[in-house]
Structure 1
Amino acid sequence: MQLISSAERNQLFEGFAHDAFHLELRDDYSVPVEDGPYERWLRGEPDDGEWFASWSKLMERVTGTGRTVRRVRVVTEPHSQYIQWEHSLTLSNVQSGETIRWLPRHLLPPDLPLPVAGNDWWLFDDKLLAVGHFDGSGRVLGSELIEAPSVVAECIRVRDALWDIATPHDRYNP
Structure 2
Amino acid sequence: MIISPAEFDNLLSGIEREAIHLETRDAYGTAIELPYMAKWAAGEPDDLEWLQGWCATLREHTAAGRTVRRARVVSEPLSDYQRWSHSIAHPMVDAGEDIRWVPRHQLTEPGAVVMLPANDFYVLDHRLVVFLTYTGDGLTRAITGSTDPRDVKTCENAFADVWKYAIPHRDYSPS
TM category (shorter chain) comes to over 0.9
1:121 aligns with 2:144: no
Do 2:19 and 2:123's aligned partners in 1 also have CA atoms closer than 8 Å?
Answer: yes
Aligned residue for 1:102?
101
Which region of structure 1 is more displaced relative to structure 2, 106-115 or 141-150?
A: 106-115
Q: Shift of the alpha carbon at 1:150?
A: 1.0
Aligned residue for 2:168?
168
Distance 1:101 1:14 in 2: 21
Do 2:114 and 2:162's aligned partners in 1 also have CA atoms closer than 8 Å?
Answer: no
Aligned residue for 1:84?
83
Q: Structure 1 length normalisation: TM-score?
A: 0.92
Q: Shift of the alpha carbon at 1:141?
A: 2.3
Distance 2:153 2:41 in 1: 40
Aligned residue for 2:140?
140
Aligned residue for 2:64?
65
SS at match of 1:32: coil
Do 1:13 and 1:62's aligned partners in 2 also have CA atoms closer than 8 Å?
Answer: no
Q: Shift of the alpha carbon at 1:26?
A: 0.7
Query: Any gaps of 5 or more consecutive residues in structure 2?
Result: none
Aligned residue for 1:111?
113
RMSD (Å) for aligned C-alpha atoms: 1.4
Counterpart residue type for residue 10 of structure 2: Q
Do 1:6 and 1:142's aligned partners in 2 also have CA atoms closer than 8 Å?
Answer: no
List structure 1 runs of 4+ shifted beyond 3 angstroms: none
Aligned residue for 2:156?
156
Distance 2:32 2:160 in 1: 31
Counterpart residue type for residue 49 of structure 2: E
- The one-character-per-residue Cα deviations of 1:68-114 (angstroms, maximum 9, x if unpaired) are 00000000000000100000011111011100111001011463321
Aligned residue for 1:75?
74
- The one-character-per-residue Cα deviations of 1:18-72 (angstroms, maximum 9, x if unpaired) are 1100000011111111111110000000002122121111111222211000000
Which region of structure 1 is more displaced relative to structure 2, 22-31 or 163-172?
A: 163-172
Aligned residue for 2:21?
22
Do 1:30 and 1:139's aligned partners in 2 also have CA atoms closer than 8 Å?
Answer: yes
Distance 1:165 1:79 in 2: 17
Distance 1:137 1:165 in 2: 27
1:49 aligns with 2:48: yes
Query: Any gaps of 5 or more consecutive residues in structure 1?
Result: none
Distance 2:5 2:106 in 1: 30
Distance 1:71 1:83 in 2: 14
